[in-house]
Structure 1
Amino acid sequence: MPTPTTAPSTRGPVALAAAGAVLALALSACADPEEGASAEEAVGDSPFNLTPEQDRIRAEAVPEIADLVPEEVRASGELNVGHSSGGAPPLTFYADDDETVIGVETDVAQLIADVLDLEYVPEATGWENLFLSVESGRFDVAVSNVTVTEERKDLYDFATYRVDTVSFESSVDSGIEEVTEPADVAGLSVAVGSGTNQEEILLRWDEQNQEAGLEPLDLQYYENTSDYYLALRSGRIDLYLGPTPSAAYHVEVAGETEIVGTISGGGEIKAEIAAMTLKDNGLVEALNAALNEVIEGGEYQQALERWAVDGEAVPESEINPTGLPRS
């Protein structure tokens, strides 16, 4: 996790929306989506709606829940939401205008803002800036595939809304049948995002393998999602470990790869995705109540079904559950 710094608080609208998609598999993930990829760069030709004009699921305002919002935020009339700046369908990625960020995370954020009777004001930024901007007050909340960890709970509060899994993706002709444990990746070349929970999983697995006398992993890092998939196609890497929804979307759309293993975003430990706000700022109770309102009302399930990630749905939102342990 990056070391937070202080930055000026800003409030300014960025037009974001959400789109629908169909996945073969859909659970959740714990990493940051790669930055800077457009819809075409991220997934190639797609049969799905990748335009900025989307018909999102909406919810009604609930006054008693809106009253839980801290006065400063309520007086502004806005909920400033940070999202990662794209490249990982169906989580967050750029529409075909290369400017508008769409994805299931924007759908969830819109529902939260609706219940809280606030204008949804999203902004796309780099993964590390999500944490810095929540700390500085630039964002009231980050809704961007953030995993709850014990280290992050020192600085932030969390309201959960998805389970968290990651998947190993290989080329269809790789000959790799299944990945379920550390020994399955010994000696292989595996791509992973730097600074992600997936990287931590692989580092732990590699340590276990080497202690057992197995061949070490060859970890590879690339700048964006399209580079990972080019490396898979060319045979430069054997596997890519990334968010399950993104892997499932790519498998469905591109038809060049397959999922050969799915594990918890914490490896051997249960992991959860949550809306993240600054610790003790009073907002997490409102976020939690809003999420439980749309879970009970069915809008949450509809939003996840639009992206076919309903397999990762949670029965209720929790505040600050046990997170992944400190490294």
Structure 2
Amino acid sequence: MYTKVVALLVAAATLTACGAAAGSSDVSQQQPRITSAKVDRIAAEVPQAIRDRGTLQVITSVGTVPPLSFYDNDNKTPIGVEVDIAALVADVLGLKTQTNVASWENVFVGLDSGKYDAGFTNITVTEARKEKYDFATYRLDNVSFEARKGSNWKVSGAPDVAGRTIAVSSGTNQEKLLLDWNAQNVAKGLKPVDVKYFQNSTDYYLALQSGRIDAYLGPNPTAAYHVKSSGQTEIVGTISGAGPTLQGEIAATTKKGNGLVQALNDALNQIIADGSYRKVLDRWGLGNEAVPKSVINPPGLPRT
């Protein structure tokens, strides 16, 4: 997703507060890691220098809330869906995972320099990024409308939000999508959306629980995990973070032309086939972001 998603996830540190007790045991590294088996023919595709080293140097940007990449209870071990998927890929390649943590901008600096082999950190495929990087997709890039459980309301298009009160974070891709939908509705004579903004992320969920808003539109990973851990809300609609004309996709990212993307792609398709991929997504409540297959360098978000 756009880079602001990372900042949003960091800012949303307390989003899961109302479900912390329910979800705390789910985010511990104490649980056995889901694994996959080495596949020799795929492992043979890895560049010789990486095979000789024996490790896949993964870079991720750690936030403070589940389920992407965040620190375990020891405040030093990176865990989350991104870390788990990277480890599965390394299993298939016959490598050990070395998970490195960097700020968002330094993820790309590290890939550019060759210090890290691959980024697994909610990186969306874009046409601009394809000039410098190769991509192997592994999750859908979606945003979701989260409402109180039992709301009996579904969102599949712009008319469904007409007249509703919806919260969104200012300056995000989600805000742009919501305002675009609202403009379409107003042009058709439908009731406008009452868009709400709050000072911090916790307030969205307090407003949702009290009935002051009908839904919160935010990144699907945060929403899906909150639904899983709290048991008090539900997702009533999911749309592509790229908008109505393109399905955005999250991908393993590597320096263009370094010879690793085919191995990453084949390893991802292997874990999709053997079922370990789906187990990881379900563990983190992200089954609705599963891809049927990994694709190399698909159409990305257009230049803006």
Structure-2 change in CA distance of 1:258 and 1:313 (3 Å): closer
The root-mean-square deviation of aligned C-alpha atoms, in Å, is 3.5
1:240 to 216, 219, 241: 216
Cα displacement (A) at 1:168:
1.0
The one-letter amino acid of 1:270's match is Q
Preserved CA contact (<8 Å) 1:38 1:86: no
- Does structure 1 residue 270 correspond to structure 2 residue 218? no
Paired with 1:128 and 1:231, the residues of 2 have a C-alpha distance of: 33
In structure 2, runs of 5+ residues without a counterpart are none
The one-letter amino acid of 2:10's match is E
Between Structure 1 and Structure 2, which shows a larger proportion of helix residues?
2
Which residue of 2 is the match for residue 27 of structure 1?
A: none
Cα deviation code 1:255-283 (max 9, x no counterpart):
44332322223221222221111222221
Paired with 2:203 and 2:215, the residues of 1 have a C-alpha distance of: 13
Identity of aligned residues (%): 47
| SS of equivalent to 2:66 | coil
Structure-to-structure mapping, 1:195-210, within 5 angstroms = 195=172, 197-209=173-185
Preserved CA contact (<8 Å) 1:39 1:50: no
1:150 to 115, 127, 137: 127
Structure-to-structure mapping, 1:28-177, within 5 angstroms = 31-32=5-6, 34-35=9-10, 37=13, 41=17, 43-47=19-23, 48-171=25-148, 177=153
Q: Under a length normalisation based on structure 2, what TM-score does the superposition of the two structures give?
A: 0.79
| SS of equivalent to 1:65 | helix
Which shows bigger deviation, 139-148 or 90-99?
90-99
Preserved CA contact (<8 Å) 1:35 1:84: no
Cα displacement (A) at 1:108:
0.8
Aligned length: 297
- Does structure 1 residue 251 correspond to structure 2 residue 227? yes
Paired with 1:295 and 1:165, the residues of 2 have a C-alpha distance of: 19
Q: Under a length normalisation based on structure 1, what TM-score does the superposition of the two structures give?
A: 0.74
Preserved CA contact (<8 Å) 1:232 1:238: yes
Paired with 1:38 and 1:276, the residues of 2 have a C-alpha distance of: 29
Cα displacement (A) at 1:302:
3.0
Structure-to-structure mapping, 1:180-191, within 5 angstroms = 180-185=156-161, 188-191=165-168
The one-letter amino acid of 1:35's match is V
Cα displacement (A) at 1:184:
4.4
Preserved CA contact (<8 Å) 1:31 1:198: no
